[in-house]
A and B are shown apart, each in its own frame.
Chain A
Amino acid sequence: MTLLDFARGPALQWSLIILVAGIVWRVLGAILLSTRKDLSTPRRKSGLKDGMGTIASRSLPASAFEKRIRFQHITGYAWHLALFVTVLFFGPHILFFESILGFGWPNLPNGVVLFAGAIALAILIALLIRRATNPVQKLISNADDYISVIIVMLPLLTGIIAFAHIGARYETLLAIHLLSIEAMFIWFPFGKLMHTAMTFPSRFQAGTSFGRRGIKA
């Protein structure tokens, strides 16, 4: 079995099994956690509106902090947007998803995707350097932060290298790219990458909880 066959076959299969089982485990585990019954009288009947409102309001910087977090805010949005374009609109990526999901969607030209990938990688490198050098960020960062950033950075880096055919034969570069993605799949449920699945449900939950207490959030 070649390295590429391994990356496309058993490595992909097992990493996906760990990814799916891990995500379902963590999401369901969080949903089913018991909450103490709130005996107070609700200020108002909270629900969908409060939940969705908080999802929207937390997507914008609070005006009080706007100046201080502008860098993270802009880079955060730019990074996620660039990542989505790279991951979701490169033709070969769509074929990869199609082999898993059973359906595909239209792709963008390679040049656009390559540009987005380079932007995403550059931002991630900048954010990693900032995390490692900014005294406050350094203090509040743990191993999970560094592992999560690096494990997302590797598929971007190996993807660009594979695209450009630099340093090794294409099949080797493609295999390394796939293996780096599979490493991310395996890490995904156990680290901060789980924010992908948890961010919006937790904002929604906070919104309904605050709404019940009459807090505007």
Chain B
Amino acid sequence: MRKDQNLGEYLRAQGVSRRGFLKFCSATASLMALPPSAVAQVAEALASARRPSVIWLSFQECTGCTESLTRSHAPTVESLIFDAISLDYHHTLQAAAGEGAENARMAAMEENDGEYLLVVDGSIPTGNPGFSTIAGISNLDMLKETARGAAAVIAVGTCAAFGGIPQAFPNPTGAVSVSDIITDKPIINVSGCPPIPVVITGVLAHFLTFGTIPDLDPLGRPTAFFGQTIHDRCYRRPFYERGEFAHTFDDEGARKGWCLYELGCKGPTSYNACATLKWNEGTSFPIGSGHGCLGCSEPGFWDHGSFYKPISAGLWGPRETLLGAAAAGAALGIGSAMAARARKNKALKEAEADSS
């Protein structure tokens, strides 16, 4: 996309029809829980949007988030819109390296000061600056420097949003989330391990349309995508209501597609859009493939006990502690009974002495 092209011109040049574009706008407006009357506004704003500058920083991450976004089934209108942003810095994707790459980042920051979007994936190590560096710059310093002139920050993936797997116990690198460091900029958390591609394009579309960040939940995630639990939108929910559960991954219940609650599904406590948007062009999602939700869009999902332990089960030490408690109770019971007997015998002796 040329710098002087707007998005509408670019999409037409790529062969996207007006009908296809409006269909996308309707779907986006619907996904973001906007009223039907907003579709025209979305279409007009998107069509005339100039490509915004986006700087993408990757810190302690596995590149899964980038893989998820760039490998969304192509070509879709979403991916074209994603192409149409000016991705001025992304060290995983860019050809340039070293000083040249860093110069591109500095140039983008200078040219678009106060207007560029900063996308971050990966958590930030605070234990030692040397744990993760890019061109000799620590992740912490690079985040602070780049966030200074950003209009908003999008934390993509659970690592950037909440610390994710690097923060899992015992958190050897002292990993923290973007919002633990940056407190003076609007931050949108697009959590998930990885996040759903259309969620990030939806957030971008919202920003391009309205110039603002969407409504966020208490964890800073767009409510349009993270407003409901997987369980509430799960197609297996009727089986939960009927009390029909798969007990193992290959029993009759599993084959019949019954609820995976007993197998540790975290759907009831996980807020994400997997059950509605699904993955791979709406093909399926983990529960659709017979595996429970891991709750990957939630803070600390790696430390909430086994993925295969049901939510209602206790997360506590070995049962032997209860044997210890029973032994302590027995000692207390025997002790109190002995004390009662001693008091009784003493009283009896005193009564006998009084009567004699």
Contact = CB atoms under 8 A, between A and B. Distances in A.
- Mutual binders A and B: yes
Contact of B326 (A2, A21, A91): A21
B305 A92 contact: no
A84 interface: no
The DSSP consensus for interface residues of chain A is helix
Interface stretch (A29-37, A46-54, A71-79, A141-149): A29-37
B300 A2 contact: yes
B340 A34 contact: yes
A4 B269 contact: yes
Nearest to A109: B243
B202 to A, nearest CB: 22
A24 B329 contact: yes
Contacts of A21: 325-326, 328-329, 332
A100 to B, nearest CB: 6
B33 interface: no
Nearest to B305: A8
Interface string A18-44: 111111111111011110000000000
B314 A28 contact: no
Main secondary structure of the interface of B (DSSP, over half): helix
Nearest to A10: B316
Contacts of A19: 325
Interface string B314-330: 11110101101110111
Q: State which size class the interface on B falls in.
A: 35 or more
Interface centre among A12, A29, A93, A165 (most CB of B within 10 A): A29
B242 A99 contact: no
A8 B315 contact: yes
B286 interface: no
B268 A170 contact: yes
A22 B242 CA distance: 37
A127 B218 CA distance: 40
Nearest to A112: B243
A13 interface: yes
A202 interface: no
Contacts of B242: 109-110
Contacts of A99: 309-310, 313-314
Pick the most buried of A2, A23, A95, A109: most chain B CB atoms within 10 A of its CB. A95
Which 10 pairs from chain A and chain B are nearest by CB? A28-B333, A24-B329, A32-B337, A99-B313, A92-B312, A21-B329, A13-B316, A25-B332, A8-B315, A20-B325
Interface of A: 2, 4-5, 8-10, 12-13, 16-29, 31-34, 91-93, 95-96, 98-100, 102, 107-111, 113, 165, 169-171, 174
